[in-house]
Amino acid sequence: MGLGLLTSRTLKSSRILHSQYSRFRPIVTKPKLQSPDASSAAAAAPQPETTPSPPKKPVGGARIHFTNPDDVIEVFVDGFPVKIPKGMTVLQACEIAGVDIPRFCYHSRLSIAGNCRMCLVEVEKSPKPVASCAMPALPGMKIKTDTPLAKKAREGVMEFLLMNHPLDCPICDQGGECDLQDQSMAFGSDRGRFTEMKRSVVDKNLGPLVKTVMTRCIQCTRCVRFATEVAGVQDLGMLGRGSGEEIGTYVEKLMTSELSGNVIDICPVGALTSKPFAFKARNWELKGTETIDVTDAVGSNIRIDSRGPEVMRILPRLNEDINEEWISDKTRFCYDGLKRQRLNDPMIRGADGRFKAVSWRDALAVVAEVALHVKPEEIVGIAGQLSDAESMMALKDLLNRMGSNNVWCEGTGTNPSADLRYRYLMNSSIAGLEKADVFLLVGTQPRYEAAMINARIRKTVRASNAKVGYIGPPADFNYDYQHLGVGPKTLLEIAEGRHSFCSAILNAKNPAIIVGSGLFEREDKDAIFYAAETIAKNGNVIRPDWNGFNVLLLSAAQAAALDLGLVPESSSSIESAKFLYIMGADDVNLDKVPADAFVVYQGHHGDRSVYRANVILPSAAYSEKEGTYENTEGRTQQTLPAVPTVGDARDDWKIIRALSEVSRICLPYDTLLSLRSRMRTVAPNLLHVDEIEPATFGPSLSIDCTQEINLTPFKAAVENFYMTNSVTRASKIMAQCSAMLLKE
């Protein structure tokens, strides 16, 4: 006799027994939970001896790292012994045992709140089910995760949560990726007993990025904890008590963090959703492409969700070494810029000054014709801040074969030097910043230049009370810092040991100096770097086990450009240029370009430089091409095409390769692979994807600088966090953000 048959039989008899006082239908789905007789009968039924299934693998492939072998304790999860380090919670122990506990309020990167009660498990000898996320695991603890008690507890919690949660999944943007939806399917009941009115909560205005539907909120307080702990803004909080409890800004206020978009990801329900994405698509319609971000030099790992030819949204991807699981708002919401102001046809400026769309054949013929009649030293090439390494390699090769060596990447300064790699890389690596205990920020505002690195610094400051000293114009950081001064004067004082901050550097175990790459634009940058290196030498910042001398770059192309040697022969070549090839450089000052110069603009957006161009060659944006980028710490990463190119645009390197053939100096690579093997001969590290190539030599090789330091104060490198490149400047959302958030 089957188990089910037996259960149903016993159930029949028990139903007769209980019928007089079971007027209310119990809220359980499993019949054996409903009646103790049935469950005992089922348990007593003769069943084959089941061998326990082998232990599962940890959830998400998590690995545990035992720092101290003495601190290992053993607990039992569903009967299987698991070894975990001391101090872990019951929930973490279950995860290592391969059991996924349902949870809403618990988040591994935030503090523990323990208020959703969804993670209840049964622990032997404990009278009640315990909230596993808040209970530390003790040696020999016997945890049971799928007993009737635990299941009933979850079902009960679920019913309470759904009591005041609107049943509007069909019109909710979280639908399909909602924790509450998934877990109510897995652990909830199939019916509810709630018949009264549901509560409703007034929606809050959190700005142009985050849409709120506060009635859907289940008060898990993840967003509050994220805002205070990671983003470092005290805007969100919990108001009221009991059923009147709600999340809100205490006063009517917008969320001014540059990480605010992450609350959309951590919200387990549809209370906080993306405003630009609202009602645009369903998540199951989207195709995810795992790629990287190029709006700043961090190289955050992202997933571009696209539908057909359209980028619908951008989400972060977990990478512990770079962005953990957050991304900045610029990364997340710049995608509408990819659909506006796009260059889609090759164009030639006619005699009347108007652009006319032409075919690729004609456009390339015109460019090649001009290029062949210009003296080699009058040819100049500028790569933009979004250029990938392949196209910069091709551009350099093309110009070199034409006889010119005046090619550089914008933002690397008037007279860049690529000889010493440590001078333009973040040598301690982004994750390595967590080990630092003193930070000296020289002319850099990481909050606006690289929001994810700022989040790292803030994490370190919060975790270990690291000291932060800052030299530069007055700024608002979201952690405590000491404003040491505004310019090179203070830097010299520290270098010469006359400043009070020197003792902090000397006493620190792992001091870190971060120099902003905005200083590259200064004439006296060599002297400033020399001063910073003096501080590093005096403070013992560069040691075999710790290299705390860091340069924070501003754009995604810079590191690769310097690695590939995109260094101009003469710093004033632009003033005598007759043939200027701009590859997406929009922040370069073109006022000095002679009026009779022939300007070719190759890029994907009609931004600033396009108005000076004579020929426009449309190329692919970062969401549309496969390209190599090196981030500020020297880590090579590759983008993947998520959507097709728009109009008649082509990949950057293909345009240069085609142009080289039309101008009869054929570059010897036809495929991306052969181009990369050419790149290997110049910078082999650009082929080692996802690896950091540390700088080989330290300051020991640098020569003494005789340059006089200029005492003018440092300037802010980034004026407007939301609009730093052609994509973000084309974006409407970014324009809204800068209008609404920056004025406060």
Partner 1 sequence: MATTVVKSALQAIRERGLRTFLRELKDDGFTFVVPLSSFLLKCFFDGNLLFPVSALEPSSEIILGILSSLLFISSFDGNLIGWSRQTKIHNIGATVVGVDKFGNKYYEKLGDTQAGRHRWVEYAKKDRYDASQVPPEWHGWLHFITDHTGDEASLALTKFALQNLRLSTCLKDLHILVLQLLMLKPKRYGVEHKENLSGKGNEFIYHSKGHALNPGQRDWTRYQSWQPTKAE
Partner 2 sequence: MAFTLRSVKVPPNSASLEEAKSRVFDFFRQACRSIPTIMDIYNLDDVVTKSELRSSISSQIRKNSHVTNPKVIDLLLFKGMEELNNIVEHAKQRHHIIGQYVLGRQGLAQDLDTKDEGTSDFLKNFYKSNYF
Contacted by 294, from partner 1, partner 2, none: CB < 5 to 8 Å by type: none
User: Tokens 């728009």 sit at which residue?
Assistant: 646
Do strands 406-409 and 379-383 pair parallel, antiparallel, or not at all (unpaired)?
A: parallel
Among positions 542-571, residues that touch partner 2 (CB under 8 A) are none
Is 123 or 620 the residue whose CB approaches partner 2 more closely? Answer: 620
Among 458, 604, 654, 729, binds partner 2 (CB under 8 A): 654
Per CB under 8 A, the segment of 109-117, 190-198, 596-604, 655-663 that binds partner 2 is 655-663
Per CB under 8 A, the segment of 140-148, 305-313, 412-420, 653-661 that binds partner 2 is 653-661
Is 341 or 482 the residue whose CB approaches partner 1 more closely? Answer: 341
Per CB under 8 A, the segment of 386-394, 425-433, 449-457, 648-656 that binds partner 2 is 648-656
Is 147 or 341 the residue whose CB approaches partner 1 more closely? Answer: 341
If one asks whether residue 676 binds partner 2 (CB under 8 A), the answer comes out as no
Please state, as a whole number, how many other Cβ atoms lie within 10 Å of the Cβ of residue 483.
15
440 and 494 in contact (C-beta within 8 Å)? yes
Contacted by 338, from partner 2, partner 1, none: CB < 5 to 8 Å by type: partner 1
Structure token pair of residue 662: 């039309």
> Residue 621: helix, strand or coil by DSSP?
coil
If one asks whether residue 650 binds partner 2 (CB under 8 A), the answer comes out as yes
Q: Encode 169-204: b = buried (16+ Cβ within 10 Å), e = exposed.
A: beebbbeeebbbbebbeebbbeeeeeeeeeeebeeb
Contacted by 650, from partner 1, partner 2, none: CB < 5 to 8 Å by type: partner 2
Is 179 or 310 the residue whose CB approaches partner 1 more closely? Answer: 310
Per CB under 8 A, the segment of 161-169, 323-331, 647-655, 693-701 that binds partner 2 is 647-655
Please state, as a whole number, how many other Cβ atoms lie within 10 Å of the Cβ of residue 630.
29
Is 149 or 281 the residue whose CB approaches partner 1 more closely? Answer: 281
Is 4 or 309 the residue whose CB approaches partner 1 more closely? Answer: 309
Length of the chain: 744
HEC string for 260-291: CCHHHHHCCCCCEEECCCCCCCCHHHCEEEEE
Contacted by 354, from partner 2, partner 1, none: CB < 5 to 8 Å by type: partner 1
Is 87 or 644 the residue whose CB approaches partner 2 more closely? Answer: 644
Is 341 or 720 the residue whose CB approaches partner 1 more closely? Answer: 341
C-beta of 645: minimal distance to partner 2 in Å?
5
Among 184, 262, 405, 645, binds partner 2 (CB under 8 A): 645
User: What's the CA gap between 532 and 709, in Å, rounded?
Assistant: 12
**Sign of CA pseudo-dihedral 588, 590, 593, 596:** positive
If one asks whether residue 666 binds partner 2 (CB under 8 A), the answer comes out as yes
Query: What is the helix (H) or strand (E) element at residue 76, kind and residue range?
Result: strand 72-77
- Phi, psi dihedral angles at 127 (to 5 degrees): -70, -30
If one asks whether residue 360 binds partner 2 (CB under 8 A), the answer comes out as yes
Chain residues binding partner 1 by CB under 8 A are 308-310, 338-345, 347, 349, 353-356, 605-606, 610-611, 616, 646-647
C-beta of 602: minimal distance to partner 1 in Å?
14
Structure token pair of residue 453: 């690195």
Residue 253: is it exposed, middle or buried by C-beta count within 10 angstroms (0-12/13-18/19+)? Answer: middle
Per CB under 8 A, the segment of 162-170, 322-330, 378-386, 649-657 that binds partner 2 is 649-657
Structure token pair of residue 614: 């004579």
Is 580 or 667 the residue whose CB approaches partner 2 more closely? Answer: 667
Contacted by 646, from partner 1, partner 2, none: CB < 5 to 8 Å by type: partner 1
Is 508 or 620 the residue whose CB approaches partner 2 more closely? Answer: 620
Is 9 or 361 the residue whose CB approaches partner 2 more closely? Answer: 361
Is 326 or 653 the residue whose CB approaches partner 2 more closely? Answer: 653
Distances (CA, A) of 265 to 67, 122, 305, 306, 310: 31, 30, 14, 17, 21
C-beta of 648: minimal distance to partner 2 in Å?
8
If one asks whether residue 359 binds partner 2 (CB under 8 A), the answer comes out as yes
If one asks whether residue 651 binds partner 2 (CB under 8 A), the answer comes out as yes
> What Rg do the C-alpha atoms of the chain give, in angstroms?
30
Do strands 627-630 and 80-85 pair parallel, antiparallel, or not at all (unpaired)?
A: unpaired
Contacted by 360, from partner 2, partner 1, none: CB < 5 to 8 Å by type: partner 2
Contacted by 645, from partner 1, partner 2, none: CB < 5 to 8 Å by type: partner 2
C-beta of 724: minimal distance to partner 1 in Å?
19
Contacted by 661, from partner 2, partner 1, none: CB < 5 to 8 Å by type: partner 2
User: Tokens 């969700």 sit at which residue?
Assistant: 305
**Beta strands in 429-531, from DSSP E residues, in sequence order:** 438-442, 467-471, 482-485, 511-516
Among 144, 283, 661, 736, binds partner 2 (CB under 8 A): 661
If one asks whether residue 620 binds partner 2 (CB under 8 A), the answer comes out as yes
> Residue 720: helix, strand or coil by DSSP?
coil
Using CB under 8 A as the binding criterion, the count of chain residues that bind partner 2 stands at: 16
Per CB under 8 A, the segment of 199-207, 479-487, 601-609, 650-658 that binds partner 2 is 650-658
User: What's the CA gap between 338 and 316, in Å, rounded?
Assistant: 18
C-beta of 344: minimal distance to partner 1 in Å?
5
Residues of the chain by 3-state class (helix, strand, coil), percent to 5:
35, 20, 50
C-beta of 670: minimal distance to partner 2 in Å?
5
Do strands 130-131 and 120-123 pair parallel, antiparallel, or not at all (unpaired)?
A: antiparallel
Contacted by 401, from partner 1, partner 2, none: CB < 5 to 8 Å by type: none
User: What's the CA gap between 522 and 710, in Å, rounded?
Assistant: 9
> Residue 378: helix, strand or coil by DSSP?
helix
User: How are strands ordered across the β-sheet holding 438-442?
Assistant: 482-485, 467-471, 438-442, 511-516, 549-552
C-beta of 619: minimal distance to partner 2 in Å?
9
C-beta of 605: minimal distance to partner 1 in Å?
7
C-beta of 354: minimal distance to partner 1 in Å?
7
Contacted by 605, from partner 2, partner 1, none: CB < 5 to 8 Å by type: partner 1
Amino acid letter, residue 175: G
Is 562 or 730 the residue whose CB approaches partner 1 more closely? Answer: 730
If one asks whether residue 369 binds partner 2 (CB under 8 A), the answer comes out as no
Contacted by 312, from partner 1, partner 2, none: CB < 5 to 8 Å by type: none
User: Tokens 């550089």 sit at which residue?
Assistant: 408
Is 204 or 605 the residue whose CB approaches partner 1 more closely? Answer: 605
Structure token pair of residue 353: 């000054």
Q: Read out DSSP for 292-330?
A: E--SSTT--EEEEEEETTEEEEEEE--BTTTTBT---HH
User: What's the CA gap between 498 and 190, in Å, rounded?
Assistant: 72
If one asks whether residue 656 binds partner 2 (CB under 8 A), the answer comes out as no
Distances (CA, A) of 203 to 53, 248, 271: 48, 9, 9
Contacted by 361, from partner 2, partner 1, none: CB < 5 to 8 Å by type: partner 2
Contact footprint for partner 2 (CB under 8 A): 359-361, 620, 644-645, 649-651, 654, 657-658, 661-662, 666, 670
